[in-house]
Amino acid sequence: EAGVAQSPRYKIIEKRQSVAFWCNPISGHATLYWYQQILGQGPKLLIQFQNNGVVDDSQLPKDRFSAERLKGVDSTLKIQPAKLEDSAVYLCASSPALPGTDTQYFGPGTRLTVL
Amino acid sequence: AQSVSQHNHHVILSEAASLELGCNYSYGGTVNLFWYVQYPGQHLQLLLKYFSGDPLVKGIKGFEAEFIKSKFSFNLRKPSVQWSDTAEYFCAVNADNDMRFGAGTRLTVKP
């Protein structure tokens, strides 16, 4: 079974630029999550989708972050414009069941550096 | 909002030593509890989870965790660690679809 795929693996941008990350979950997984992991901290949930609907985005900084999962499969997370404090690893995870009730399978992450 | 606390940032043990990593959370309602592990160069993966039933749960690689509701704790244990257990360990709590992770504990096992 293929795992969660993410791209790119690394990205370096300057502040005020825009960036987008892509995630393809495990086939058949209805729930998809985006996390931000700052160095030395645990993952912080940004947004979770059930199919193509948003279950929770209470911790997503909506003035600069946006995410979509249009067809209920893959998803993109965008930052526009980026700030220095956005430097982090962005993790995508998926799970087969209802949000929060089952194991989450994580991708390798995208390491973002904002200069 | 709920929070998750992991008491130790870095633990160093010798092989065959016993391990206990602390995890406490602040939420009074029903919770689902997880321990995830990240080995060097690998993805986060599930070690074990607790949803209901027996509060002592067993996971992969000889790990276990005990849910103590009165203490809001879900500590991770292993009776005898191996060098291959060197990794970062994250406790996570889900309540009402609000998933929170602790800051993680880095475990270094010396051969």
B73-91 pLDDT per residue, tens:
999 999 999 999 999 999 9
Closest CB to B43 among A40, A101, A107:
A107
Band of pLDDT at residue A100, cut at 50, 70 and 90: low
Contact check, Cβ <8 Å, A3/B43: yes
Find, among B74, B71, B78, the residue nearest to B91 by Cα: B74
Mutant choice from A49, A103, A110 vs B, greatest count of B C-beta within 10 A: A103
Contact residues, A window 7-46, toward B, CB-based 8 Å cutoff: 33, 35, 40-45
Q: What is the mean pLDDT of residues B21-36?
A: 92
Cβ–Cβ under 8 Å, residues B25 and B74:
yes
**Using CB atoms, which residue from B34, B92, B97 is nearest to A56?**
B97
E-assigned strand segments in B1-111: 3-5, 10-14, 19-21, 24-26, 32-38, 44-50, 56-58, 64-68, 73-78, 87-95, 98-101, 105-110
